[in-house]
């Protein structure tokens, strides 16, 4: 008997003329271009962030509909604290509003929210909204929405190494037990599938410290579309491009998806 994920992926594959096994199970998106979207329209940057938040809801719902098991969104990096205080303050206000406002959609669609990142330096009202949304959705068994908020890939690995070293110091773990699985189990994404597909909007060709460990064998798709304009049709283009790739995982022969 097919799972709900498999049923939706099969329907999506039929619509796009693909094989369901050629579709990703985990897509990670570097959402870029909010500021440029606003500036191109003669608007203040915060209007771009507002529109970008609306796009998040649209794409999250669409990813539920097409059968993704995980959707990871790069929302705010640890390096983004360098931005002007006024912009950061508005972003934090938006995060709290978004985390509260998205709850009905998450519950209706059986979506679980996972936080990737640290709570350090986040305002208390954002922490409260984040923790409550995580609590409310913890029992959901559908798609996992992984929100990278106050996240850094290098920092994530450093934290994992520190935790592993501490366990070794307390004789809870032996050095010879440290392998790839051990490290993966100490990252923010512990228990999650690694991304199959990484999408970056706005045409930039860099990873920006996002999921450095997890995307080792992911396929990359870059679009010139700015995040506030990213639509389900753009997502379909990314799926089509992904399905056309021959995924070898270091071998000379393609591996089945």
The residues assigned a catalytic role are 32, 80
Do 142 and 109 contact (CB within 8 A), yes or no? yes
Residues 14 and 59: their CA atoms lie apart, in Å, by: 20
∠40-41-47 over CA atoms, to 5°?
105
**How many Cα atoms sit within 13 Å of 86 on the Cβ side?**
3
CA pair distance 151, 95, nearest whole angstrom: 14
Provide φ and ψ at 76, rounded to 5°.
-150, 120
Please answer whether residues 193 and 25 qualify as being in contact, where contact means their C-beta atoms are separated by less than 8 angstroms.
yes
């Amino acid at each position: 008997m097919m799972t709900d994920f498999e049923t939706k992926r099969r329907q999506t594959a039929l619509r796009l003329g693909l094989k369901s096994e050629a579709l990703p199970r985990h897509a990670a998106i570097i959402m870029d271009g909010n500021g440029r979207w606003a500036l191109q329209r003669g608007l203040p940057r915060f209007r771009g962030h507002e529109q970008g938040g609306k796009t998040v809801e649209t794409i999250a719902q669409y990813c539920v509909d097409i059968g993704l098991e995980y959707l990871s969104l790069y929302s705010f990096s640890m390096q983004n604290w360098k931005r002007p205080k006024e912009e950061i303050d508005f972003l934090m206000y938006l995060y709290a509003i978004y985390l509260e406002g998205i709850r009905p959609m998450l519950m209706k669609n059986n979506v679980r929210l996972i936080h990737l990142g640290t709570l350090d330096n986040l305002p208390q009202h954002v922490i409260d909204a984040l923790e409550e949304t995580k609590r409310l959705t913890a029992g959901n068994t559908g798609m996992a929405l992984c929100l990278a908020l106050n996240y850094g890939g290098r920092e994530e690995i450093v934290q994992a190494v520190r935790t592993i070293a501490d366990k070794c110091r307390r004789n809870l773990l032996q050095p010879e037990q440290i392998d790839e699985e051990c490290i993966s189990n100490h990252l923010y994404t512990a228990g999650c599938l690694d991304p199959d597909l990484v999408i970056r909007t706005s045409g930039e060709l860099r990873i920006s410290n996002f999921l450095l460990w997890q995307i080792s064998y992911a396929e990359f798709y870059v679009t010139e579309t700015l995040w506030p304009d990213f639509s389900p049709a753009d997502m379909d283009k990314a799926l089509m491009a992904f399905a056309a790739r021959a995924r070898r995982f270091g071998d000379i022969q393609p591996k089945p998806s």
